[in-house]
Amino acid sequence: MAPCDDPTQSPTVENAEQQIDQKALHEAAKACLIDYGTPFHKNIIVRAQGLYIYTPTGHKMLDWTSGQMSSLLGHSHPEISKVITHYAENLDHLFSGMLSPPVIDLGQRLTGLTPKGLDKAIFLSTGGESNEFAIRIAKFFTGKFEVVGLSASWHGVTGAAIGAQYHSGRVGYGPVMPGNFALPAPNAYRSIFRHPDGTYDWQTELSYGFSLIDRQSCGSLAAVILEPILSSGGMHPLPPGYLKSLKRHCESRGMLLIVDEAQTAIGRAGDMFAFQHYAEDEGVVPDILTLSKTLGNGIALSAVVISDAIAEKTARDGFMYYTTHLNDPLPAAVGDKVLEIVVRDGLVDRSRELGKRLQKGLLTLQERYGCIGDVRGRGLMAGIEIVTDRVTKTPGFELGNKLGERMADLGLWAQLGTHQSFAGVFRIAPPITITDGELEEGLRIMEEAFASTEGSLPLY
């Protein structure tokens, strides 16, 4: 059997880490763990602290995916750890119909940050569950059942959420929930919709997409759900003005607008909420906002925020959504502390400013290496699309994997998406507590990885 000793019981954590047999643990994992659609990384991770994750050999890597895009404030943040310890010892979990101060505190703090029209919140576990709730309440409020997503979307793998998801996960499971349609996902780099001067014509693309949906609909369009930056779809920000135009399309059809900010909210993309970014979208407020990942800093916590009007009508009509970990006090206390720290320490502004430096560094790499077809993103959320030819834009999956492995060996963890709708894109999202030095360190490692990997097409 693989060694399973608790390293905290050993003389030093570091010594215990180095005694771990990674090969034996991988063999044990193969025997007892279910494969779930992604290969396990070669390194077993034994510690996560601040911006770094550690292997048993003592090798450390800058974590530029914040775990699963969740550890907004870094791993094992001391204030978060203190909150977890306190509530684990005093107020961890309750009957779902009971209230506790942390839940009310988080509700007040969160709705104090959202604009008017996002007035009442509920707290759940994962992002998939928050989107499940959002779609369910949208259907109940409108009395309709058809839901529209974007063609490179990721919203979760539960029933309603997977129905509105087109990035992956649809093949081989039988019919999804009826009444789901896809709009073409905005992709300024690859879209075939172009103005005569070659620039991206997203307005025509969006109108054309709705014309197809209108032909397919049976007259029961309930909602559109989308991300302000399509992360799993390749880190594509929505174009300026897209949300305002989409909102008009929704209103003309009696649809609600659901914005999924699992990865983009709480400062990650340089704004408290990413839907607020563009002046061209000023005044647009989602009918329903979903949050997860960044809100819990690695703890399973999500939220749905809706208007008073939706809350009042659905309550009056008998809306029901009841789960075991609804409004649990421990994760709520963590979320409240996350929001407190982000606001107190000015981390939204810091993410915006450091994001400019990150983009500048990545654009410099693009000038030096021909395999970088596109650089995009906002705040501390970026994408690098790897190609084998800039003219044909042929995705460079194999090259991207080599670059990713090289980065990991040099001390930087950045995730490469290999699904078709990723097109071979590095998704970069370090904790927004990253220091200037850690940002420069990561860019330096990237430079070294590109310089030392065959096929990177150096331009110097």
Domains of the chain, by residue range, sit at 96-344
Percent of the chain with pLDDT over 90: 90
pLDDT value for 32? 96
Catalytic (active site) residue 276: no
Measured CA to CA, the distance from residue 420 to residue 398 in angstroms comes to 13
pLDDT value for 18? 63
| Given the residues 139, 144, 268, 293, the one annotated as active site | 293
Concatenate the DSSP letters of all residues of 250-292 into one string: HHHTT-EEEEE-TTTTTTTTSSSSGGG--GGGTT---SEEEE-
Catalytic (active site) residue 17: no
Catalytic (active site) residue 413: no
Tokens, residue 447: 């430079």
pLDDT value for 10? 45
- For residue 73, give Cα distances in angstroms to 78, 92, 412: 10, 22, 18
Measured CA to CA, the distance from residue 381 to residue 232 in angstroms comes to 12
**Average pLDDT rounded to a whole number, residues 359-364:** 98
Residue 227 sits at φ, ψ, to 5 deg, of -100, 145
| Given the residues 165, 263, 366, 415, the one annotated as active site | 263
Catalytic (active site) residue 293: yes
| Given the residues 281, 352, 427, 438, the one annotated as active site | 427
| Given the residues 129, 146, 227, 271, the one annotated as active site | 227
pLDDT in tens, 102-134: 999 999 999 999 999 999 999 999 999 999 999
For residues 297 and 267, is the Cβ–Cβ distance under 8 A?
Answer: no
Fold topology of 96-344: Aspartate Aminotransferase; domain 2 (3.40.640)
Confidence of residue 3 (pLDDT cuts 50, 70, 90): very low
| Given the residues 129, 146, 205, 260, the one annotated as active site | 260
pLDDT in tens, 293-337: 999 999 999 999 999 999 999 999 999 999 999 999 999 999 999
**Average pLDDT rounded to a whole number, residues 56-63:** 95
Confidence of residue 39 (pLDDT cuts 50, 70, 90): confident
| Given the residues 144, 146, 154, 415, the one annotated as active site | 154
What type of residue is 155? H
418, pLDDT greater than 90: no
Measured CA to CA, the distance from residue 440 to residue 447 in angstroms comes to 10
**Average pLDDT rounded to a whole number, residues 250-256:** 98
